[in-house]
């Protein structure tokens, strides 16, 4: 059976107390009601999350957590594996390590997106890559029972790792079995020469998969051929979640319901 999840992007602070019982639970109920099997959570800092309450709400609604996003630590706090400030790099690594117990509990992949950072002015790309490799080796060793997935992102978001080819070279350098890639069709549409060929090349190193259409609306709203993309993905042996990460347009509920209807076809 194919498994679909939805990225639920909320600020860590909103997971606390009232929001967790109100907004959070209402949203989880909606996601389950629409037919999704899982919810992908964005968690800036696991210390701000009431893990037991979170787990209870999610399991009460029959959902699982296939992956956890960590990018808010970059977006809101500026933490980065490739900063020129050693204290910021150390803090970024510690923050990612702090996700390990939560990821182990949910059997969730830890997503490494923008936490990799952007090469700061005056620093060479090669130096950023050295910092990135060291950080990834450190995290992968600390979380041996957990899987980490770096997401190739398009050129407008970072200068580091745009394609599956870049990601596979990085995987070789990192040399850890629990380190792979998260592929996102929105980024692939911008950066990959042929999306299906890149999916095949990544093979069993695809640890997680995001879907959005060419315009970053829900699948079916743009010009990507999800028939061949998903057929190629499953032909690699991929049995994990396909996770919807798209803009809330024309509104969040419409996008989420149209996406699941389209994906289930
Ligand atoms: C996150 O999964 C992603 O795709 C990025 O575009 C967010 O910056
Ligand atoms: Mn993504």
Note down pLDDT in tens along the chain; length 265 residues.
Answer: 899 999 986 654 333 323 333 488 999 999 999 999 999 998 889 998 888 999 999 999 999 999 999 988 998 899 999 999 999 999 999 999 999 999 999 999 999 999 999 999 999 999 999 999 999 999 999 999 999 999 999 999 999 999 999 999 999 999 999 999 999 999 999 999 999 999 999 999 999 999 999 999 999 999 999 999 999 999 999 999 999 999 999 999 999 999 999 999 9
User: Are 211 and 242 within 8 A, CB to CB?
Assistant: yes
What tokens does 4 get?
């679909």
For residue 25, indicate whether it is catalytic: no
* Residue nearest atom 8 in ligand 1 by C-alpha distance: 114
User: Are 97 and 88 within 8 A, CB to CB?
Assistant: no
pLDDT value at residue 8: 87
**What is d(CA 238, CA 118) in angstroms, rounded to the nearest whole number?**
30
User: Are 195 and 161 within 8 A, CB to CB?
Assistant: no
pLDDT value at residue 139: 98
Q: Which of 147, 220, 154 is nearest to 184 (CA)?
A: 154
Residues sharing a CB contact under 8 Å with residue 36, sequence separation 6 or more, in sequence order: 4, 5, 6, 63, 244, 256, 260
Q: Which of 66, 62, 57 is nearest to 4 (CA)?
A: 66
Look at the block and give the residue holding tokens 């509104």.
Answer: 251
What tokens does 197 get?
């060929």
Check pocket membership of 210 for ligand 1, CB cut-off 6 A: yes
User: Are 27 and 60 within 8 A, CB to CB?
Assistant: no
User: Are 159 and 125 within 8 A, CB to CB?
Assistant: yes
For residue 245, indicate whether it is catalytic: yes
28 alpha carbon – ligand 2 mean position (Å): 20
Taking phi over 0 as left and psi of -120 to 50 as alpha, with beta for the rest, 54 belongs to: alpha
186 alpha carbon – ligand 1 mean position (Å): 9
Q: Where are the beta strands (DSSP E) in 171-241?
A: 179-184, 206-211
Number of structural domains in the chain: 1
**What is d(CA 109, CA 140) in angstroms, rounded to the nearest whole number?**
12
Check pocket membership of 184 for ligand 1, CB cut-off 6 A: yes
Catalytic residue among 25, 40, 151, 191: 151
Range of the domain at 154: 4-264
Check pocket membership of 113 for ligand 1, CB cut-off 6 A: yes
User: Are 120 and 83 within 8 A, CB to CB?
Assistant: yes
Q: Output the domain CATH number for residue 55.
A: 3.20.20.150
User: Are 214 and 249 within 8 A, CB to CB?
Assistant: no
For the purposes of burial, counting CB atoms within 10 Å of the CB of 121, is it exposed (0-12), middle (13-18) or buried (19 or more)? exposed
Of 151, 186, 207, 211, the residue with max ligand 1 atoms within 8 A of its CB, to mutate for a pocket test, comes to 151
Of 67, 153, 213, the residue with max ligand 1 atoms within 8 A of its CB, to mutate for a pocket test, comes to 153
What tokens does 95 get?
């923050």
Check pocket membership of 219 for ligand 1, CB cut-off 6 A: no
């Amino acid at each position: 059976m194919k498994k679909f999840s939805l990225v639920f992007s909320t600020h860590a602070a909103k997971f606390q107390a009232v929001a967790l019982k109100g907004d959070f639970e209402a949203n989880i109920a909606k996601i389950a009601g629409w037919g999704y099997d899982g919810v992908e959570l964005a968690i800036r800092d696991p210390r701000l999350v009431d893990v037991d309450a979170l787990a209870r709400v999610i399991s009460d609604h029959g959902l699982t957590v296939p992956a956890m996003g960590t990018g808010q630590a970059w977006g809101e706090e500026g933490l980065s594996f490739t900063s020129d400030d050693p204290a910021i790099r150390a803090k970024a690594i510690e923050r990612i390590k702090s996700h390990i117990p939560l990821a182990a509990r949910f059997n969730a992949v830890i997503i490494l997106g923008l936490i990799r950072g952007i090469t700061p002015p005056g620093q060479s790309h090669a130096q950023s890559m050295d910092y990135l490799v060291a950080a990834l080796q450190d995290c992968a060793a600390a979380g041996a029972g957990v899987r980490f997935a770096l997401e190739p992102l398009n050129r407008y978001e970072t200068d580091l790792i745009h394609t599956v080819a870049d990601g596979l070279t990085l995987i070789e350098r990192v040399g850890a079995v629990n380190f792979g890639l998260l592929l996102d069709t929105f980024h692939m549409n911008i950066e990959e020469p042929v999306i299906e060929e890149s999916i095949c090349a990544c093979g069993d190193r695809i640890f997680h998969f995001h879907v959005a259409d060419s315009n970053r609306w829900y699948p079916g709203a743009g010009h990507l051929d999800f028939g061949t993309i998903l057929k190629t993905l499953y032909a690699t042996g991929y049995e994990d979640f396909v996770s919807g990460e798209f803009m809330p347009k024309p509104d969040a509920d419409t996008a989420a319901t149209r996406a699941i209807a389209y994906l289930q076809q």
